[in-house]
Amino acid sequence: MKTLEEQWKFGFLLPNISTIQAVGNEYVALTHINDQRVQVLIQKQPNLQYLVKGFTDQYKRPITPGILIIREEQLRTHSGIVAVIDFRNILAICCIITTWKNFLNRGQHIPPSAGFSDYFDIYPIQPHKFDEWLITLSPAARGLDPAKDFSGQTKPEIVGQVYDPKYEPIMFQALMNEWKDHYITQKSSNWRRTALFRSLQIAYQACAMPISNYLTIYDYGSSLALWVSAFEILAHPQNGKVQKSDVLSLIADIPLQSKMLSNRLYTINLGKNKLRVNLPQKLYSQIYDSRNNFLHGEPVKIKHLFPWGKTRRYGLHLFTPLIYNLALISHLSIHDLYTGEYFEQTLIEEALMKSTIDLPKNP
């Protein structure tokens, strides 16, 4: 009979993030090397110790990576891998929502840590079944190398590791309840939950650093395009095709505290008709139109990346995770949880209001 610690297996490494306290539940967790469950794994897999202790940043400063582990007796091998990824996506999105919410409310100018999904990227090297080896698995490479020679690094575009990133607690718990229902209690699969996890995978990609073309406007345009896809997957009616109106309805179905957000003060074009909408809907409509301009080859300018085309405001991509948070509340039907947490709801709404305010001019 295995002890509780012996029931866990190694999942993946996240070298760009570190935790002091484990995050997760009794079936999946992001944890650290001092966790007793990890120590048991290292005893069983000596090559794992070379992996978790072999990281530095680009200047040879030691790094302790985050370690994703999963309860092996609760999950089959294939579903276990997917379950770990879906858990990673839940944690990443909830951290990113909180990061940009705090950033906007504090009026900062320097990009914060954990604002991009790159911090949560999985490392492609893992312990091999033979103790003295590590295996590399990626679309571009397959490799087998001695574990004792391993030397890993964090991403160079990331200034430093993120320690214990803060995450949106209400949303995190609601999404983890969905995760548990899907992977543990094995309730029958349904369209709503399939759409949820599929949408989170696309949202994770949308949150990546816009750096593929070294920060051109097309990098930001591509990010907005992926965000629109994440929204559309979440709002898809299953039968027929998803429309812009489906996403607008999903976003509208939220009891907002602020009249400035909830009142239908804005007008958008919807087909041949005009529609009165609130602020979150208006912002999504601008994101949607910007996506169309970039992906359909229309002439684009930097103003297409900003609310109302005003370049002295924060970019649309900063507000998108917060609007996505509203869409998730609606999709999960957890309005009452946020109604009971007035403070959390107020912070989200205050951050969205920053889209209507110009930034101060540089002195």
pLDDT digit string (tens) for 196-208?
999 999 999 999 9
pLDDT in tens, 280-314: 999 999 999 999 999 999 999 999 999 999 999 99
Q: Give me the numbers of helices (H) and strands (E) for the chain, helices first please.
A: 12, 14
Nearest to 288, CA basis, from 206, 232, 351: 232
Q: How far apart are CA 186 and CA 38, in angstroms?
A: 27
Percent of the chain exceeding pLDDT 70 equals 95
CA-CA distances (angstroms) from residue 280 to 246, 285, 290, 326, 354? 14, 9, 15, 9, 12
pLDDT score at 246:
96
- Separation CA 68–CA 87 (nearest Å): 9
Mean of the per-residue pLDDT values of the chain: 90
DSSP sequence for 69-104: EEETTTS-HHHHHHHHHHHHHHHHHHHHHHHHHHHH
Checking if the pLDDT of 271 tops 90, the result is no
CB under 8 Å to 328, separation ≥6 — which residues?
A: 171, 174, 175, 234
Q: Which residues face 266 on adjacent strands?
A: 277
Mean pLDDT of 96-104: 93
Query: Of 108 and 242, which is predicted with more confidence?
Result: 242
Q: Please give the C-alpha separations between residue 190 and each of 195, 197, 250, 336, in angstroms, as whole numbers.
A: 9, 11, 18, 23
The helix (H) or strand (E) run that includes residue 210 is: none
Domain ranges of the chain: 1-186, 188-363
Task: Give me the mean pLDDT over the 137-165 stretch.
Answer: 86
* Residue found under tokens 């992906």: 295
Q: 171, 200 in Cβ contact below 8 A?
A: no
Higher pLDDT, 186 or 152: 152
Distance CA 94, CA 97 (A): 5
**pTM exceeds 0.75:** yes
Locus of tokens 């909408």? 277
